Structure 1
Amino acid sequence: MFIPKHRLFLWMGFMMYSVWYAGTANVNACPFCSATQQTISEEIASAEISVIAKLIQPAATSDDPTNFDLAGNDCGMARFAVQNVLRGDESSAAMEEIEVVYFGKDDKDRSFLINALVNKGPRIEKIAVSSIDWATPLPLTERGVHYVNQLADLPKRGADRLAFFQEHLEDEDPLLAQDAYDEFAIAPYSEVVDLADRMDRQQLIDWISDPRIGPSRRRLYLTMLGTCGTASDGELLESQLLYDYQLLKPGVSVMLAAMARTGPAMSVSILDELIRADVRRKQQCLDALIAAYLKLKGPTGLPLVEEKFLRNSETEYSHTYAALMALRFHGEETDVLPRERILESLHLVLDNKQFADQVVPDLARWEDWSVMDKLVSLFKAGEKDGWIRQPVVSYLLVAAEQEGPVGDRADAALADLEEIDPECVTRARRNSAFSMFAAAVTKSGEGLAKTLEKPVEAPQGVVGQPSLEKAAPSTPNSPESAKTAAKMTSSEVQRSAKDNEGSPSQIILIGVPLIAGLVLMGIFALLLRGADVRSGSADTDVQNQ
């Protein structure tokens, strides 16, 4: 069975759309949850025809593969009776039976969700059976059929939509349980918060404590508990944070030593591994656990997190990274922790060589210029090819966009560092447009700076605020403008030229990827050109219909 070129391009477009849709749908989604696949609602929305149909005639099978006519149009075709048209036009609403490629060995009368794209080529005047490209049927249970039929009536967004899927978390039907989780995973965190008063708090605690629950879903349940939990739940999460093998090790060592004298050595090693495995299980969702703990405890929970994960140089890399993810979450999504207090916690990480570069983008994004001198010192003390140098330059490039003392200090620091490592500064300028630092650049007096009250000059401040004062406008021919131009020294002019030289051209940023994409599409079209000699005749058959 061959695939005509026009259908191949149609499905390529469908797959590209699906990837784009999945990528955009996850923007601002549940912070610690990752959707494993498109939700059923997304699959239906991306199809042009979607039906629920029953299998009435399975595809022909044979124990001898040589009996199959692989070039035949009926190879692998199963027949389905349409029960409900979920999406489609008037022509698809009149469908009674359809034929779809399906090799599954399901019983007759089994229901399926089947989506399709319609080939609307210029030579086809109306939809015909041969111009519909059906996707692989998705088997449904009776509960699944009832579930899918209700999706169209749900609100497109909001807590009311999540309330429906909440009832199917850990559903006995694995398909429904997975789809409900994926719906939560792509939902904005604000919608999860709006659902808090309708959550079953005790059920969430039971799921979090259940060793059979996987890491992904446990992260979701921890996030949900953080929105609806009580003070006692905060104590529960704190006990899990303190559940550490290093703290248990003295008691475990005494117990294992006693067992070694009275029992076989194998049982001792097995018990030791079981204890370690239990600790790993409880800490595998550490980012969501810390975030939920801080959501319930507020600023009073930060000292424990700082002492255990940020100040402790012996903490595992993954544990410190999880703590940083939790702090970023609260810095962007909640107001439980003051921004200044979060920044104090991040400052502790600057003393950790392994993680100092990880927090510099956060400091730039939240416009914390109070550590500028320390970052410059880290640059000078770091190795030429070290991790810290380029983030520091990118931080300074963002700071240089600010007006007033902050911008002046950043310009002076950049000039100083450029003499030490000109290659690093140039590389950072070229890469800044593609990095997370690009999002940190804001207009002077706008964005996060408005929320920060402490000026840069104050030695006690955690976060500096760029000056909001602007120079008085002057006409090009005014005496003031002439004086300003006269003040520019030759070194300033040269440095300005270097800055412009290091900045990537907009034409290059947009044109190069566009040209590369067109070239690849052209090559792919040439490869397909001779893929199947029957493509021309196939197109003719479709046209005749």
Structure 2
Amino acid sequence: MHTQQRNHFFQTITRSTRLRAFVVLVMTGIHLVTTMNLPACPFCSAVSLTFTQEIDQSEVAVVAQLVEGPDAESLKPTSQGPLPKGRFKIVEILKGGDLAEAAGLLGPDAETIEAILLEDKPLGGMFLLLAIEPPKLFWSSPITLGPESAAYLRKLQDLPKAGAGRLAFFQDYLEYSDETMARDAYDEFAVAPYADVRGLRDQMHPEKLLAWIENPKVQSSRRRLYATMLGVCGSNQDADRIEAILRGKDSELRVGLDALIACFVTLRGSRGLDQIDELFLTKSDKEIPFTETYAAVMALRFLGEETEIVPRARVLESLDRLLDQPTLADLV
């Protein structure tokens, strides 16, 4: 930012001490974002560790079949005994085969694995089991696997450690019929660097992303991811459909508003930011909910990093609109 612009900006925000703190916080966030790797979805948070992270943190990882369920009495809420446990037989080794063999878990006379199982599960079901601290091995709670999950886990071992090539694999499992795999694919995007998702641009499917964004049944965290991805690969026509959501009243579709605003401006540029100013940042006769203004500010934080799309000075112009709104200052 030029010195003259900076001086004007900070002279203006002295009108409100509390608002000054708010805007400084926003600009600090923009500075921090520019000095670190953005996650692929800056508006998302991972639901849990990815399968890859869990396997990496374990010393033994196996696909195992439930051969003996917990005692029915131990599953009752009134049970006072030890935690219910099930017994599992290893079907496939994903990691640490030598440690599993040393623990007597492989071969014709292999012992079964005993692990805490807090629910009644059907015998024969497949699970991911993880262990640490050999040679005794302490096993985690089993993770239920669907019919395709074992093959999915096997493929993870051959993927690149990072980059667009890795995300290309997980893109095929977003909103997959097996929720365990769909969740893992989302989490992989949520923890990946933003540069990786931009590298995936030519392999993305904007129509599919738009369909998910416009589906009220899609989880809000995932809608944020899909909006971020659409901002990378979408067109001006796609921006029209996002604008319809921003101007509409469907509260279910507007969940994830911060990512939708960022997507819209990323596709439209400074012209799109003019429309965001009108909808969410400009004082008018209609009252703009604080949550919507806050979502717009979070989008501005993201856009402040994307200087090739919207100049930093233009982002500051939008923030300036908040300075004359005492109601906002009272909420900060």
TM-score tier by shorter-chain length is 0.7 to 0.9
1:123-162 aligned within 5 A = 127=135, 131-162=136-167
Aligned-residue RMSD, C-alpha: 2.5
Tell me which of 96, 100, 105 is aligned to 1:88.
96
Letter in structure 1 aligned against 2:70: A
Name structure 2 gaps, 5 residues minimum: 1-35, 107-111
Deviation at 1:89, TM superposition (A): 6.1
**How high is the sequence identity, in percent, across the aligned residues?**
40
What's 1:240 paired with? 245
Q: Secondary structure at the match of 2:160?
A: coil
Letter in structure 1 aligned against 2:260: L
User: Which gives a bigger RCO, structure 1 or 2 (Cα 8 Å, sep 6+)?
Assistant: 2
Give me the TM-score of the superposition, normalised by structure 1. Answer: 0.49
Tell me which of 211, 214, 217 is aligned to 1:209.
214
Q: Is 1:225 aligned to 2:230, yes or no? A: yes
What's 2:318 paired with? 345
Q: Secondary structure at the match of 1:281?
A: coil
Q: Secondary structure at the match of 2:185?
A: helix
Q: Is 1:290 aligned to 2:261, yes or no? A: yes
Q: Secondary structure at the match of 2:127?
A: strand
C-alpha distance in 2, partners of 1:81/1:311? 63
C-alpha distance in 1, partners of 2:87/2:75? 22
Are the structure 2 counterparts of residues 76 and 235 from structure 1 closer, same or farther at C-alpha, using a change threshold of 3 Å?
closer
What's 2:7 paired with? none
Are the structure 2 counterparts of residues 39 and 333 from structure 1 closer, same or farther at C-alpha, using a change threshold of 3 Å?
farther
Looking at CA atoms only, which structure, 1 or 2, has the larger radius of gyration? 1
C-alpha distance in 2, partners of 1:140/1:150? 15
Q: Is 1:281 aligned to 2:249, yes or no? A: no
Q: Secondary structure at the match of 1:337?
A: coil
Q: Secondary structure at the match of 1:31?
A: coil
Letter in structure 1 aligned against 2:57: S
1:480-495 aligned within 5 A = none
Are the structure 2 counterparts of residues 115 and 348 from structure 1 closer, same or farther at C-alpha, using a change threshold of 3 Å?
same
What's 1:44 paired with? 55
Q: Secondary structure at the match of 2:253?
A: helix
* 2:228–2:263 contact (8 Å) kept in structure 1: yes
* 2:44–2:225 contact (8 Å) kept in structure 1: yes
**CA offsets per residue over residues 138-193 of structure 1, 9 Å max, x none?**
11112111111111111111111111111111111111111111111111211111
Name structure 1 gaps, 5 residues minimum: 1-25, 120-126, 245-278, 357-385, 389-545
Give me the TM-score of the superposition, normalised by structure 2. Answer: 0.79
Deviation at 1:387, TM superposition (A): 8.4
C-alpha distance in 1, partners of 2:194/2:326? 33
* 1:50–1:114 contact (8 Å) kept in structure 2: yes
What's 2:26 paired with? none
* 1:39–1:183 contact (8 Å) kept in structure 2: yes
Displaced runs of 4 or more, over 4 A: 62-65
Are the structure 2 counterparts of residues 91 and 337 from structure 1 closer, same or farther at C-alpha, using a change threshold of 3 Å?
same
What's 1:186 paired with? 191
Q: Is 1:35 aligned to 2:46, yes or no? A: yes
**CA offsets per residue over residues 5-47 of structure 1, 9 Å max, x none?**
xxxxxxxxxxxxxxxxxxxxx9732211111111111111111
Are the structure 2 counterparts of residues 351 and 103 from structure 1 closer, same or farther at C-alpha, using a change threshold of 3 Å?
closer
C-alpha distance in 2, partners of 1:311/1:185? 32
